[in-house]
Amino acid sequence: MRIINLTLLSTLLFCGLNHKMKAQERVEYSMTIQELADSLMINNIQLKIAKASVEVADARVGDVKINRLPDIGAEMIGMYLSDVNLYDNHWSHIQRVNIPNFGHQFNVSASQLIYGGGRVNKAIALAEMSKSLSESQLEDTDQSIKLNATELYLNLHNLQNQKRILENNKKLANERVKNAKLFYNEDMISKNEVLRAEVLERQLEQSLIQVNNAIEVTNKNLILFVGIDDNILIKPNVSNINHQISSQNENFYLQKAFENNPQMKMSETQIEIAEKNLELTKADKLPTLAGFAGYNATRPMTSTTPALDYYSNNYQVGLNLSYNIESLFKNKKKALIDEELIIQAELRQEAVEQQIEADVNSAYNVASTSFLISFSSVKSIFIAKVEFPVSFSISEA
């Protein structure tokens, strides 16, 4: 048992020394809020993914628009034709007919959709809506990343302030322990006073360890958000955060939130997408009219007897009218699904509106009563994408 305890103690001491060495290698870097935002825009992986999604959606718009162009194809075939063997109905060989053995074929075809019930235009509009949705998702991701990073940034600032306060208090506690021991040796105080001073010193040491651990975790998370080296210890520079803003009533911020909030835009776009899908489903019930043209040349001519080593060519031009009869009964169920999806999207929009209203109301009331914006208030106010009418400040304690 003692061997296990010694091993565990050695492991803990090694980890502590290794952690201390890593902490000593850290390079302190003073970072402002603006530098934090700039680094996020350049390095954050989630923002890069969201930007890539917008680029993919934009490429899909271009791909769908190509369907407006005619379909054109060309084909050239080279072949070897064997001689023809004739057999009777009992598979007895009768005759061998020699024909030209080398042949080739050349075909050119083109078709253009004239009317398809608006399928192409609706598909393009749907792709553009998907792009708009991706852009709103990028804006929402950008806002969320900045808010989460700001929360870590402010927490790191407060933790570092707490660390300085605890270090100062620990120095005072050390002096108090020394003085208590000195007074105890002079029979001026009881042993209990010395014990109280030592307990306070241990409590401060424990609190300092907890704060240091919290600083390490918060700094690591912030580094991952910002995308900088692991050996950097961020020192938040909040000297330029304080500012005064003119006040407005709650309805002003609520209206701004409904107009500018990315989640509100996303819910509106999702309703439009659901409605456009229903239009596409209904368009499947309409006929399709297309124009076509083609040319082909074939050698040899095997339609004659004997086969002739000549070219035969022809061209064709016409209209193709088609109608999918099965859509009359199959699309009914699909249309019902699309209608339910529209209702679902509208309910989601209502839920988003309620959440935004609750967040803005909470932020407004907290800021109006305390005149100090906590991070939760800042987060709710960012939902409205407007600045709040009070002084933004950070407590040093």
Strand partners, 319: 291
In angstroms, the CA 116 to CA 291 distance is 12
Domain boundaries, the chain: 27-100+130-241
Q: How far apart are CA 237 and CA 244, in angstroms?
A: 19
Give the Cα separation of 137 and 314 in Å (integer). Answer: 55
For residue 46, report the phi and psi dihedrals to the nearest 5 degrees: -65, -35
What's the length of the chain? Answer: 397
Q: Which two tokens stand for residue 308?
A: 């002739």
Q: Tell me which amino acid residue 130 is.
A: S
The CB density around residue 384, as the number of other CB atoms within 10 Å, is 23
Q: Confirm if 45 and 61 have CB atoms less than 8 A apart.
A: no
pTM, 2 dp: 0.72
Alpha helices in the chain, H assignment, sequence order: 2-25, 33-43, 45-65, 119-185, 191-226, 250-260, 262-283, 327-370, 375-384
Closest by CA to 252, choosing from 361, 350, 391, 358, is 361
> Angle at which helices 119-185 and 375-384 pack, to 10 degrees?
160
Residue 316: name the closest of 69, 105, 73, 110 by CA. 110
The whole-number pLDDT of residue 252 equals 85
- Is there a cis peptide before residue 287, judged by omega within 30 degrees of 0? no
Q: 320 pairs with which residues across the strands?
A: 290
* pLDDT value at residue 390: 33
- Exposure class string for 121-144: b at 16+ Cβ within 10 A, else e: bbbbbbbbbbbbbbbbbbbbbbbb
Tokens of 75: 């084909």
* Residues ≥6 apart with Cβ < 8 Å to 194: 177, 180, 181, 184
Instruction: Evaluate whether 242 touches 57 at the Cβ level (below 8 Å).
Output: no
Nearby residues of 368 by Cβ (< 8 Å), 6 or more positions away: 390
Taking each helix axis from N to C end, the angle separating 45-65 and 33-43, rounded to the nearest 10 degrees, works out to 50
**Is 27-100+130-241 CATH 3.40.50.11900?**
no
Sign of torsion, CA 172 178 181 183?
negative
Residue stretches of the chain with pLDDT short of 50: 1-23, 370-397
